[in-house]
Structure 1
Amino acid sequence: MVEDVELNRFYWHSRRGMLELDVLLVPFVREVYPHLNDVDRDLYRRLLTCEDQDMFGWFMQRAESEDPELQRMVRMILDRVQPK
């Protein structure tokens, strides 16, 4: 289980100041991040180091990350909110 300190830290790092990103990342970190395996947690941390404009393009599906693992995390976040 993720410790509260770690969860709070990633909650604040997930708040990007861009509404389109915040509505995807903040609920993800609250509801899904605690249940991720260590590999996917590391991947989420890597995602947070990316530029907001890059992430915006990925999440709006205007572009894809050149890194297939980051693209997998983007897809995981999008799959959570998109209707099936």
Structure 2
Amino acid sequence: MSEHSSPETAQRKRLYWHSRRGMWELDLLLIPFLEHRYDGLDEDDQAAFRTLIDEEDQDLFAWLMRREWPEAPDIRRIVKMIVEYAEDADNVVHRPV
């Protein structure tokens, strides 16, 4: 089996395509987090991310825009990680040089 057809590659492609929601706000939060932080997460947090991206867009939007928090502790934790990552990334992008 080649590297391009490994189970890990297939899962990563699935995660990427499921992170593309069609809502610009969600795409801007989920895709960078997947690309930059997902691989460094422990197995539980990776599982929480996989569960999160199967949720409905309106729930994701409410959670990621901090209008409400998920009830499940593991999902709440990954949502907070995504929000914090976005805030940190935003600060890096907008810092004066």
Query: RCO higher in 1 or 2 (8 Å CA, sep ≥ 6)?
Result: 1
Matched residues, percent identical? 43
TM-score by length of 1: 0.89
Pair 1:17-2:22 in alignment: yes
Give the one of 27, 35, 52 matched to 2:40.
Answer: 35
Tell me the matched-pair count: 83
Deviation at 1:36, TM superposition (A): 1.4
On the 8 A contact 1:7/1:34 being kept in 2, the answer is no
Instruction: State the alpha-carbon separation in 2 of the partners of residues 26 and 36 from structure 1.
Output: 15
Gaps in structure 1 of 5+ consecutive residues:
none
Give the one of 69, 77, 84 matched to 1:79.
Answer: 84
Letter in 2 for 1:57: A
Deviation at 1:32, TM superposition (A): 0.9
Superposed CA RMSD: 1.6
Give the one of 50, 55, 66 matched to 1:61.
Answer: 66
